[in-house]
A and B are shown apart, each in its own frame.
Chain A
């Protein structure tokens, strides 16, 4: 008997849940502003490009994206179970693979910028 590896993904889920609860409403609001045509100055190319080029900006964006994607992955695994899908091993590999791809893509694009 030992502590299951679920401890790792649960830790990411919990951290991600906290981060998303705090920042996602503000982020959706920014996207909403963009959609209404009132693009915030910070999302204009020059400013946002400069932000994503700075190491602090890269770090902030990466932490939020990394934790969010693992939070969503783990929760979707639970959702699948709750809707009666019992192939947990398959679901787990699928959602965590997508989360890993998301993590790599986020890191890749952030490192490319600037």
Chain B
């Protein structure tokens, strides 16, 4: 009897096509492109604001008003909600378990807490921006 273990090949570039779980994971990780885009988009907006010129700011706002940007932001918003915000809340209790007394708080408590905080934070931002 001779040993000759067989090693199954794994693709370094397409491994995530193997099952749905991996595909969802990769889509989640790709949300980082949106974070990067919006961060630098906001920094660019601040650069224009830093010129202290109302005209330049108004023309920047005007430049943003087109159907392409509406579609882009709408798609980005949905993508971000389903592949960053919701997964992050769902996984939060795993990284930060809370023990009250002897027993661990059920994950659902922590997840609901996140959603409540999210609504408050979002409402605050909208209030600050004068939307509500």
A interface residue numbers (CB < 8 A to B): 14, 16-18, 20-37, 39-43, 45-49, 51-52, 61, 65, 68-69, 71-73, 75-76, 78-79, 82-84, 86, 102, 105-106, 109-110, 112-113
Contacts and interface: CB of A to CB of B under 8 A. Distances in A.
Nearest to B57: A45
Contacts, number: 161
Interface of B: 11-13, 16, 26, 29-36, 38-43, 46-47, 49-50, 52, 54, 57-58, 61, 64-66, 69-70, 72-74, 76-77, 80-81, 84-85, 88-89, 92, 95, 117-118, 121-122, 125-126, 128-131
Given A34-B64, A35-B69, A42-B131, A82 B88 contact: no
Given A22-B121, A24-B34, A79-B30, 10 more contacts: A21-B88, A23-B125, A32-B70, A32-B74, A34-B65, A36-B65, A40-B129, A43-B61, A72-B33, A82-B29
Residue picked from A14, A18, A33, A82, most chain B C-beta under 10 Å = A82
Q: By DSSP majority rule, is chain A's interface helix, strand, loop, or mixed? A: helix
Contacts of B49: 45, 48-49, 52, 109, 113
A92 B84 CA distance: 22
Contact of A102 (B39, B64, B88): B39
B41 to A, nearest CB: 8
Nearest to A32: B73
A60 to B, nearest CB: 9
Q: By DSSP majority rule, is chain B's interface helix, strand, loop, or mixed? A: helix
9 contacts: A17-B84, A18-B88, A21-B89, A31-B64, A33-B131, A35-B73, A41-B131, A48-B49, A73-B36
Contacts of B52: 49, 113
A27 B38 contact: yes
B74 A76 contact: no
Nearest to B127: A42
